[in-house]
Amino acid sequence: MAHYQISTNNKRHLVDVKIDNKEGRPIQIVGFDPLKYNTEYFNRLCLEKGIQTYQFGCPLTPKKLNLVIFDVEKGYSDKPKTFTIKSIKTEPIEFRELDVDYLTSKFIEFAQDFAEKAGYLTAGTYSDKDNLFKINYVNRILDERGNKSPTPARIHKTEKYIEVSREWLVNLSIPIRLQMLFHEYSHLFLNKNPSDESEADINGVNLFLALGYPFVESVYAYTKVFGDNPKTKGRLNNIINALEKRRHTR
């Protein structure tokens, strides 16, 4: 395992990690806050063989960002013999004013704060300082029969609060938590059709990218949440197509 610490000082940063994965082994790259439990700013599995550069856009950072890189099959205790760190570089990301309405800007502030803290918050009800939004953070989401629901989050259409599963969120990185929250927010506040999952996917992705997260992080987030569920394969393909179209028109 290779271990580094970067002074990010709660500022927006781009982190470039260049590694030589000689055999195409499963290499995990994780950036986290060493002072807070379950607070990962990125966590990516890298399988590409040879010399590759991985970029991590971090609109949110802690004061000190710890970085660990390890071979998944060898574990934390092994010295990095199966790969070589070629370089680690950081640079500040210029802040861009978001082209969103007042309500959305306030939700982004609330969602970012909650996403950073969700790994160590207990179950309970959380609101923003202006009481515009509410998150009901439950240990697990139950269906109408009282059984555990597979969904990580959902929004209440009449009372307009978001219900989130702590069991799900505690093990997810901050960007994935944010992408989930933006999706739920989009249902009632951005969608033309509140029930349209695909429309909420795209609206949520647009918010996510506007903050400065890279395209690959959005795909990674939805892949993590959808898993191998065949029912969501079409939605994932639509997201990837929309992202590719956006990338080529920028």
Tokens in use for 101?
């309405």
Whether residues 9 and 118 fall in one domain = no
Same domain as 141, residue 17: no
pLDDT digits (tens, 9 = 90+) for 113-152: 999 999 999 999 999 999 999 999 999 999 888 899 888 9
pLDDT of residue 237: 85
Q: Based on the structure, what is the number of domains in the chain? A: 2
CB distance 30 to 85 below 8 Å? no
- Is 220 found in the same domain as 163? yes
- With 0-12 CB in 10 A as exposed, 13-18 as middle and 19+ as buried, what is 49? exposed
- If asked whether residues 69 and 114 sit together in one domain, one would say no
Boundary residue ending a domain (46, 65, 92): 92
Residue 78 has pLDDT above 70, yes or no: no
Mean pLDDT within 205-209:
92
Given a contact cutoff of 8 angstroms between Cβ atoms, the answer to whether 70 and 76 are in contact is yes
The answer to whether residues 111 and 234 belong to one domain is yes
Q: Are residues 82 and 142 in the same domain?
A: no
User: Contact at 8 Å (CB) between 118 and 41?
Assistant: no
Residue 201: alpha-carbon gap to chain centroid: 14
Per-residue pLDDT for 19 more than 90? yes
CATH number at residue 59: 2.60.120
pLDDT at 123 (0 to 100) = 97
pLDDT of 248 reads: 59
DSSP string, 93-147: PPP------HHHHHHHHHHHHHHHHTTTPPSEEEE-TTSS-EEEEESS-B-TTSP
Do residues 243 and 191 share a domain?
A: yes
Query: Tell me: the pLDDT tens digits for 22-63?
Result: 999 999 999 999 999 999 999 999 999 999 999 999 999 999
List the domain range (segments joined by +) for residue 88.
2-92
The fraction of the chain above a pLDDT of 70, given in percent, is: 96
Q: Are residues 110 and 82 in the same domain?
A: no
In percent, how much of the chain has pLDDT > 90? Answer: 71
Question: pLDDT tens-digit profile of 164-178?
Answer: 999 999 999 999 999
Between 31 and 81, residue with greater pLDDT: 31
Q: What pLDDT shows up at residue 250? A: 54
Asked if residue 226 has pLDDT above 90, the reply is no
Where residue 24 falls (left for φ over 0; alpha for ψ -120 to 50; beta otherwise) is left
In a domain, 97, yes or no: no
User: How far is Cα of residue 142 from the mean position of the Cα atoms in its chain?
Assistant: 23
pLDDT of residue 9: 96
Quick one: average pLDDT of 2-26? 94
